[in-house]
Amino acid sequence: MFANLIQLITRRPPPDFERGFVEDVHVTRRRPRNRRTERILLFGWILILLKSFAMIWLVDRYHLKFNANWIIIPTVVAALLCTAVYFRKE
C-alpha cells in the first residue's frame, strides 16, 4: 500500500508497468473424447447396476447377516472415482 502511495507522489511508473498488459494468447482445443472408452464406462455402470440388484436379492433371499450396502457402496464409489478421473482429464 505504501509503495503505491510513494509511486503516486513521485509520479514514476512502476518498473513492471509494461508487464501488466496481455501480449499473447494461446488457445488449445480439447481432444475429442474416446467413444470406445465411454462405451466401456457405460457397460461398467450397467454391470454395477446389475451387481447391485443381484446383491440386494441374494442378501434378502438367503437371509445373510450383513447389509448389501457393504458391497454396493465401495463399488459405486470406486466407479465414480474412475468416471470422474476420465471426464476431468484434459
Residue 60, pLDDT > 80, answer yes
Q: Name the band, by pLDDT with cuts 50, 70 and 90, for residue 89.
A: confident
Give one DSSP letter per residue of the chain, joined into a string.
-HHHHHHHHHTPPPTTSGGGS-------PPPPPPHHHHHHHHHHHHHHHHHHHHHHHHHHHTT-SS-THHHHHHHHHHHHHHHHHHHH--
Domain boundaries, the chain: 34-90
- Model confidence, pTM: 0.66
